[in-house]
C-alpha cells in the first residue's frame, strides 16, 4: 500500500488544490449531516464512523498541504487554550 504522502501528492496532481479544498468541504458537510441524522436516530453509528473516516483522511490531506509543523503548532496553541478554559 502506498504511503499517505504518495496518495496526497497523487490526489493533488489529479484534482488540484482547489479540488482538494472542495472535497474537504464536502466531506465535512457529510459528517455534519450524519451527526444530525444520528441525533434524530435516522442513521447508526457506523454511518457516522464512515463519514468520520472520510474527514480524517481529508484532514491528513490538508495537513500535508499546509505543513504538518504549522498544524502541530496551531494545535498545541488550541490545546493550551482549552486547558486554560478547563482550569487544568
What pTM was estimated for this model as a whole? 0.92
Give the Cα separation of 43 and 36 in Å (integer): 9
Give the Cα separation of 19 and 80 in Å (integer): 33
What mean pLDDT do residues 69-75 have?
A: 98
At 29-65, the pLDDT tens digits run: 999 999 999 999 999 999 999 999 999 999 999 999 9
Please give the tally of structural domains in the chain.
Answer: 1
Q: Which domain holds residue 54?
A: 4-86
The mean of the pLDDT values for the chain is 97
> Of 18, 19, 17, 50, which is closest to residue 33 (Cα–Cα)?
50
Amino acid at each position: 500500500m502506498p504511503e499517505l504522502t504518495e496518495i496526497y501528492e497523487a490526489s493533488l496532481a489529479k484534482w488540484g488544490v482547489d479540488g482538494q479544498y472542495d472535497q474537504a468541504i464536502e466531506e465535512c458537510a457529510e459528517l455534519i449531516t450524519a451527526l444530525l441524522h444520528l441525533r434524530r436516530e435516522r442513521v447508526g453509528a457506523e454511518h457516522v464512523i464512515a463519514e468520520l473516516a472520510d474527514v480524517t483522511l481529508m484532514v491528513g490531506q490538508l495537513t500535508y498541504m499546509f505543513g504538518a509543523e504549522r498544524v502541530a503548532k496551531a494545535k498545541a496553541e488550541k490545546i493550551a487554550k482549552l486547558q486554560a478554559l478547563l482550569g487544568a
